[in-house]
Structure 1
């Protein structure tokens, strides 16, 4: 049975990101220019993606990472986001990529559609019990051998915002611990290939950033 409370929380997240979409793009849309490690991880992911295979950006926001993937070797980059406002901006600014509205728990994608996927700071809006189903969905849409790069704020804190850049919102940011995230990925069927943490860059919020690279095993 579907939990109506979870639907309400996802609706709050959707509405919050719709409200800040333009401000988010203006503030964060160029973030990869000052994130050399993130760019290196994305390049490594692309280099290990099967030739011709599409790459998914799960929780793509205004599409800046999706567009970067398309410009740096992805045969086809597909961004998926819960927020219609974010998807509209992504389609406007990145016609070289494809964008779909969708939920991390019910991805609008076929089984094995993607050769690789990234989920950069998108799982932080899920409830703890939703992480395992979300990782199972990521496993479903990846081809055997496909890799998933997950990024999140490291820790156990939950930050709630009622106001974001002057817009009323209702959204939680859940920090996560790398070891439990890796275990949940293994439970979803992935092999975990790497985990790492880094300090924040000067332009970022002052949180420790964590990354887990996982791979769907060959059939």
Structure 2
């Protein structure tokens, strides 16, 4: 008698996110450990977020990944920041890379009721189907206090499905892209006031897709 094969998790599910990120965490770390050094626009946007919430603000870095570099940058500006990620391997590596910062395994779509002063989601939306976006934004709105700040960054486009891993290799991953309109609409429907929504072109060494930056205040 042989054991029945273990079914693969549904594409884009939480279990699928864990599967794909546990498998490629080390590769991502090698590629993107120092990525912020070559992204002056992103540094300005993250610093502006830190200025808006103010020193001592309680903030989550949702989808911190294995680098933990956004968490570390926000902490360097005096924020009380926790980096969260679904992937235990990503959290383990982030703790190693940024020993002075705090990290926890947590689902960005089920983070409780806060209250947080702000939340940053730096490329954390593309691992799950676009239909999940309203649920995720509603969870963020429940966690962020009125007047608190949201910053989310996503790749622009209409893609929504399983693709070959953009980082290379044989892995198949879920990949969702968003338009500025989709992000604005979801944020407003969830209870945020959109303060700014800008788009920039990709840098030469980035995946060739424009980036959408949305800043909002919890109503």
Task: Give the alignment's TM-score, normalised by structure 2.
Answer: 0.88
Q: String of CA shifts for 1:85-143, please: whole Å, max 9, x gaps.
A: 00000111112211111112212x5421x211110111112222211111111112212
In the alignment, structure 1 residue 42 sits paired with structure 2 residue 46: yes
| 3-state secondary structure, aligned to 2:13 | helix
Residue 3 (structure 2) aligns with: none
User: In the superposition, relative to structure 1, how do residues 193 and 165 fare at CA in structure 2: closer, same or farther (>3 Å)?
Assistant: closer
Q: CA RMSD in A?
A: 1.9
Which structure 2 residue ranges, 5 or more long, are not aligned?
1-8
Distance in 2 (CA, whole Å) between partners of 1:154 and 1:122 is 13
Instruction: Please identify the structure whose Cα radius of gyration is greater.
Output: 2
- 2:11, 2:174 within 8 Å by CA — same for their partners in 1? no
Residue 120 (structure 1) aligns with: 122
Residue 67 (structure 1) aligned to one of 59, 66, 72: 72
Distance in 1 (CA, whole Å) between partners of 2:128 and 2:164 is 17
| 3-state secondary structure, aligned to 2:126 | helix
User: In the superposition, relative to structure 1, how do residues 159 and 204 fare at CA in structure 2: closer, same or farther (>3 Å)?
Assistant: farther
Residue 209 (structure 1) aligns with: 211
- 1:50, 1:115 within 8 Å by CA — same for their partners in 2? no
Equivalent pairs, count: 210
Listed as ranges, the matches of 1:103-142 within 5 Å are: 103-107=107-111, 109-112=112-115, 114-142=116-144
The list of structure 1 runs, each at least 4 consecutive aligned residues, that deviate by more than 4 angstroms after superposition, is 5-8, 162-168
User: In the superposition, relative to structure 1, how do residues 126 and 74 fare at CA in structure 2: closer, same or farther (>3 Å)?
Assistant: farther
Residue 183 (structure 2) aligns with: 181
Distance in 1 (CA, whole Å) between partners of 2:166 and 2:46 is 28
Residue 18 (structure 2) aligned to one of 14, 17, 20: 14
CA displacement at 1:161 relative to structure 2: 3.6
Task: Give the alignment's TM-score, normalised by structure 1.
Answer: 0.88
